[in-house]
């Protein structure tokens, strides 16, 4: 089980490698598709942490500040939002 799967399990969802071009992960809750998260061309917290833990902390802080509005909205139209899921799983 990789780190993304562990973080996903903690919030009650599952993740699989994305079938959508340009995305890292597809997120499912009870077998129902919720959202695709993470652009393949960008790093996330775990990627930065492997390279430089200090830089990772700074990048995480910047991400959370930049995405404050969309990461705080948990559900929309009965589904978990991509912003919320990216915050919890990737950052």
| pTM attached to this predicted model | 0.91
- For residue 28, is it left (φ>0), alpha (ψ between -120 and 50) or beta? beta
**pLDDT band (50, 70, 90) for residue 38:** very high
* pLDDT tens-digit map of 20-35: 999 999 999 999 999 9
pLDDT at 34: 97
Domain that holds residue 18: 3-89
H/E run at residue 74: none
Q: E strands of the chain, at which residues?
A: 14-17, 23-29, 32-39, 75-76, 79-80
Q: What is the CA radius of gyration of the chain?
A: 13
Rounded distance between C-alpha atoms, residue 51 and residue 91, angstroms: 15
pLDDT at 11: 96
* pLDDT tens-digit map of 42-86: 999 999 999 999 999 999 999 999 999 999 899 999 999 999 999
Number of domains in the chain: 1
Single out the residue of 3, 12, 10 nearest to residue 38, CA to CA: 3
pLDDT at 1 over 80: no
């Amino acid at each position: 089980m990789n780190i993304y799967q562990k973080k996903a399990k903690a919030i009650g969802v599952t993740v699989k490698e994305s079938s959508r071009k340009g995305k890292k992960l597809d997120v499912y809750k009870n077998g129902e598709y919720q959202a695709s998260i993470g652009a393949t061309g960008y790093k996330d917290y775990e990627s930065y942490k492997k390279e430089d833990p200090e830089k990772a902390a700074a990048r995480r802080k910047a991400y959370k500040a930049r995405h404050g509005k969309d990461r705080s909205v948990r559900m929309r139209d009965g589904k978990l939002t991509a912003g919320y899921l990216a915050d919890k799983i990737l950052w």
